[in-house]
Amino acid sequence: MNHLKRINSALISVFDKGNLEPIIGKLNKLGVHIYSTGGTKEFIENLGVKVTAVEDITDYPSILGGRVKTLHPKIFGGILARRDNITDQEQLKEYQIPEIDVVIVDLYPFEDTLASGASDQDIIEKIDIGGISLIRAAAKNFKDTVIVPSKNQYQDLIDLLDEKKGETSIEDRKKFALEAFNISSHYDTAIFNYFNSDFNIPAFKQSSISGNELRYGENPHQKGTFFGNLDDVFDQLHGKQISYNNLLDIEAAVQLISEFEETTFAVLKHNNACGIASRNDLVDAWNDALAGDPVSAFGGILITNREVNMQTAIEIDKIFFEVIIAPSYASDALQVLKKKKNRIILIQKMFDFPKMQYRSMLHGALVQDRDLKMEIEADLKTATKKAPSKEEIEDLLFANKLVKHSKSNTIVLAKNNQLCASGVGQTSRIDALRQAISKAKSFKFDLNGAVMASDAFFPFADSVQIANEAGIKSVIQPGGSVRDQESIDYCDKHNMAMVFTGTRHFKH
């Protein structure tokens, strides 16, 4: 069956008129009858192209300050009429309704207006009614009508007009309809989420117009796509395409470094910090972060909260790594880092991350508040007879930040604002502690005077006992176990300090 149809008429009503002129010129050259209204009609007339006002079809002017222009049976009848339906065709003749073969729309910029911080009144006025209705109507009748739903599809129509000289296939029209419902559903989702910010009804609606196809997913046999706009968060200065696993590590790195105001450098691998240190000088922060685990740092993700200078870049360049993230780079440092062609170099922009997070789960999605709580000294409750020293408190708070951003079960050992070692992703807290102690010793760290942080409470006293035997004398943990007293009693007996935060930081 031949579904090629010729475009004889077009309705055009757009907000963004950029790149519209070539479309008008091509439609005019093809002898297409153009209908329009308002500012779009004036734009077309100024091009010297004949256009029929929508009001001349409907016999109604634009009313209510422009809120009602195209919402009329003579417009929607021309769009929705089935060309192979005898009754539809008879009614078109009876009511003098012209057929409309292509509809070109660009909606009011609701999301841009919302992001601009405009008033509620201005935001509401940017909820498009006529345009969204035109999109849905034309997309529904894709068998007979072409719908161009946004400025992003202008070029697609231009290419189609060039290629097929004013004719379209059913496949062409269905693809435009697909884009139309993508646009309309996304638009409605944005509006819903705006209204729901005041009510927070339990509905899960997230939308992204387009995705970036990745080389593959977590493994080469899996497909992967990123939905979102990385350009809002980073400028990529150099390197290969960011991978699925890179993105997971980058997310973990960005969230971790956000906890630190001091000059800090971190190295991450598989979403966990394998090295991190805070120092007065950036190069010292890098060297001490690397010392935390120079083996795992190979192929890792590096992040800092300071401009990377030449001295630090020279040191960094001595190892192989996948990604480096910083707020800026000195020009000479950048030249050093760019020596490896695949090395991904990112500038992190100022960006407010969503306060909600979600993941697919079973046959649905899990949604929760992002863990934005981080304890300060005033939140600490000393549970033992001995209180931690000022230096120990500083290390305890440092270690607690790392615990929050490490996979559970996790134990972090730190000293002098440096990660000595951590045990992460273990099925028992004891295993996590033993892993951390073994790792610290393998890299020649002296744990005498180090501190220990735990993401959850200790159900027994065995963890503080093992820590004490390793030389650790100060502990931070949430508390809350029915057997807290056993750990407290052991610490008191062995002159250890322990503080409770009252907050668990599981991360799975």
Q: What is the pLDDT of residue 66?
A: 77
- pLDDT computed for residue 210 by the predictor: 85
The predicted pLDDT at position 17 comes to 93
Which pLDDT does position 2 carry in this prediction? 56
Active site residues: 140, 270
Burial letters for 277-297: b for 16+ Cβ neighbours within 10 Å, e otherwise? bbbeebbbbbbbbbbbbeebb
Mean pLDDT, rounded, for 365-388: 96
| pLDDT tens by residue, 333-359 | 999 999 999 999 999 999 888 889 999
In the 8-state DSSP scheme, what is residue 264?
Answer: E
The per-residue pLDDT for 246 is 96
Burial status of residue 485 (CB atoms within 10 A of its CB: 0-12, 13-18, 19 or more): exposed
pLDDT at 170 over 80: yes
Report pLDDT digits (tens) over 208-258: 988 899 999 999 999 999 999 999 999 999 999 999 999 999 999 999 999
pLDDT tens for 411-430 read: 999 999 999 999 999 999 99
Q: Given pLDDT bands bounded at 50, 70 and 90, which one contains residue 381?
A: very high
Rounded-to-integer distance, Cα 476 and Cα 486, Å:
15
Q: pLDDT for 49-98, tens place per residue?
A: 999 999 999 888 888 887 888 889 999 999 999 999 999 999 999 999 99
* Closest-CA residue to 326 (of 353, 302, 352, 294): 302
For the chain, the residue count is 508
Q: Express each pLDDT in 438-492 by its tens digit.
A: 999 999 999 999 999 999 999 999 999 999 999 999 999 999 999 999 999 999 9
**Is pLDDT above 50 for 1?**
no
Mean pLDDT over each residue of the chain, to the nearest integer: 95
The pTM of this model reads 0.89
Please name the residues in contact with 277: beta carbons below 8 A apart, sequence gap of 6 or more: 264, 265, 284, 285, 286, 288, 289, 291, 292, 417, 418, 419
Name the phi and psi angles at 36, rounded to 5: -165, 180
* Alpha helix stretches (DSSP H) within 70-203: 73-80, 86-94, 110-115, 120-125, 130-140, 154-164, 170-196
Query: Is the per-residue pLDDT at 7 higher than 90?
Result: yes
What is the model's pLDDT at position 352?
86
Tell me what the mean pLDDT of segment 18-22 comes to.
92
pLDDT per residue as tens digits for the range 327-339: 999 999 999 999 9
